[in-house]
Structure formats: structure tokens, C-alpha cells
Structure 1
Amino acid sequence: MADPAPLTRRTVVTGAGVAAVGAGLLATGCSTAPPPTAPADAAAGTPVGPAADVPVGSAQIFDAAGVVVTQPSAGTYAAFSTACPHQGCAVSSVEGTSIVCPCHGSTFGLDGSVQQGPAEAPLQSRAITVTNGEISLA
């Protein structure tokens, strides 16, 4: 059996660097697949959906319009872009009073504020109107 090649400092340092990068990617949940991105902002007047779809004390994501609409109390609505301010991924779910970004785990409150990072800025507010039970961008 032949002796293995001796380890050089370059081999050890290179191997350690590759291992560190791989561990970092695993720890952040990154993959080679691109993250889901939020759609471009829709124009004013764009129909969003029925106000009845937005539960009191929670929110509803309207993917086609690129907004998440909240109703913190009965009859009070607010809207935000679905683009997470961290890296632009689209928020994808609502869990109770939290709006969740799937890419890195940021969560946002019904007022768009950051509940948990890595996002450091709130969701961008969007103007809406509610007329005859229908939500539209303003």
C-alpha cells in the first residue's frame, strides 16, 4: 500500500475554508435555489381582493397584488408590500399575528414592524382603500 501524500499547509487551510463556508450555508438554511421574490409593486387602483378574506386580528397575503393586508381590529385595515426588507424574498405565510418570511425566518407584526430578524426594517407600507367590501391599492 502506498503512503498517502503528505498534508501541506495550503491543503489544510483550503479544506478549513471550504468547510467553514459549507457550515455557514447550512446554518443559514441557504440553498442553491433562488429565493421566492416578491412581485413588483402593482399600480394604484389595482384590485386586491375581498375585505372579508382578511381575518380580524390577523392578515391575508394577496400574492397577485404583492401585498399583505392586516386587520388588527374590526374594520381597521393596513397593507404592506410582500417584499421582505432583508433580501427581497416574498413573505409567504401568516401565523396568528405574525407575517413570516420563509427565506431567513424574519417575522413581522400586523403593523409591519419587525418581530424577529434578520430583517432590520419594517415591511413597506402600501396605501389601500376599502369600498363596498373590496380592497384596492390607492
Structure 2
Amino acid sequence: MPGTSPARRTVLRGAALAGTAGLGIAACSPGGSGGRAESAPKAPVDLGKADEVPVGGVKLYQDENVVVSRPSADDYTAFSTICTHAGCPISMLEGTELTCSCHGSKFDATNGKVLHDPATQPLAKVPVEVKNGKIVAGPAA
């Protein structure tokens, strides 16, 4: 636009950048959709065979946003794998340590406790039981 003054171009460019930056900030904020995941099961969900979780071990069910630990042969514990810091889904499990890829929070998969900030709240406990040899997690489980 040959007739446009530099001041007007500068203002228009700044307005465009401000709008774009505002969208980016909104998407990354806890209230935005960036990183936020579906919560842990709101209804009972079949996770699979109970023997898929080894005694003394844990298993991450990424699609259901749940981690299940099995401290003894007949005892199962489950936690939501939605990070309590910014609501991102946790998809990394090493041993019994869960790591959120968004900001690096770490949690103990056997008890939900925070091992490394920025999260300050433990993972939410999810009801879990074994029915007919299958793990069922979620309310009324």
C-alpha cells in the first residue's frame, strides 16, 4: 500500500500481533483449551484384564486418563492422569513415576503424591475394582 503512512502500518501491525498473542495466551491458560484434557472416567470403564497390572507394579491407561497400581495380588489403586497443575494429560510413566509433558510436574503413580512441582496438589483418586477378572475404574466401580 504505497499511500499508507508508516505510523498507520505500525499501528495495524501492532494490532494484528496483539490479537494473535491474546489468542495464544488464552489457549495456554488453565481456562483455555490448550493442554486441557478430558477428565478421568465419569462412568465405569473396563480397562482390561486384571493380570495386565503386575503385582507391585503400575499400568498407564492413556486413553482413559487413568493409572492403576497393584500393591498386592488383590489390591488395586487408581488415579486420574490429568495433571493438577494445568490440566494436561499425563502420558509418560517410568517405573512408578508419572511425568507431565506440559510443565514437568512429577507424581508417584502408587499414591498420587506430587514428587516435583509446579503441581502442588496430588492426583485425584479414581474408584477401581476387579469384576470377573477385569479392572473397572470410575464412579460406581
TM-score bin, normalised by smaller chain: 0.5 to 0.7
Distance apart, 1:59 and its partner CA: 1.7
CA distances 1:82-102 after superposition (whole Å, capped 9, x unpaired): 100000111112111211211
Q: Is the 8 A contact 1:59 1:99 kept in 2?
A: no
- In structure 1, the gaps of 5 or more residues are 1-33
1:40 maps to which residue? Answer: 39
Partner of 1:116: 116
Q: Which secondary structure does the structure 2 equivalent of 1:48 belong to? A: strand
Q: 1:73 Cα shift? A: 3.4
Q: Structure 1-normalised TM-score? A: 0.66
Contact 1:130 1:136 (8 Å CA) reproduced: yes
Residue matched to 1:106:
105
Classify the secondary structure of the residue corresponding to 1:64.
helix
Q: Kindly, what percent of the aligned residue pairs are identical?
A: 42
Which deviations, in whole Å up to 9, do the C-alpha atoms of 1:1-36 show, x marking residues without a partner? xxxxxxxxxxxxxxxxxxxxxxxxxxxxxxxxx864
* TM superposition shift of 1:51: 1.9
Distance in 2 between residues matched to 1:73 and 1:35, nearest whole Å:
38
How many residue pairs align between the two structures?
105
**Is the Cα contact below 8 Å between 2:47 and 2:61 reproduced in 1?**
yes
Closer/same/farther in 2, CA of residues 113 and 50 from structure 1, 3 Å limit: same
Superposed CA RMSD in Å reads 1.9
- In structure 2, the gaps of 5 or more residues are 1-32
Secondary structure (helix, strand or coil) at the match of 1:38 reads coil
State whether residues 57 and 97 of structure 1, in contact with CA within 8 Å, keep that contact through their aligned partners in structure 2: no
Does residue 52 (structure 1) correspond to residue 44 (structure 2)? The answer is: no
Q: Aligned partners of 2:101 and 2:40: how far apart in 1?
A: 20
1:104, distance to aligned residue in structure 2 (A): 1.3
Cα distance, 1:42 vs structure 2: 2.3
Match of 2:129 in 1: 129
1:118 and 1:112 mapped to 2: Cα distance? 15
Q: Which amino acid aligns with 1:88?
A: G
CA contact (8 A) 2:81 2:123 kept: yes
CA deviation profile, 1:28-58 (whole Å, cap 9, x unmatched): xxxxxx8644323323322122222223333
Q: How does 1:2-13 map to 2 (within 5 A)?
A: none
The 8 Å contact of residues 58 and 94 in structure 1, kept in 2 or not, is answered as no
Question: Does structure 1 residue 97 correspond to structure 2 residue 96?
Answer: yes
Question: Aligned equivalents of 2:136 and 2:97: distance in 1?
Answer: 23
Contact 2:105 2:117 survives alignment (8 Å): yes
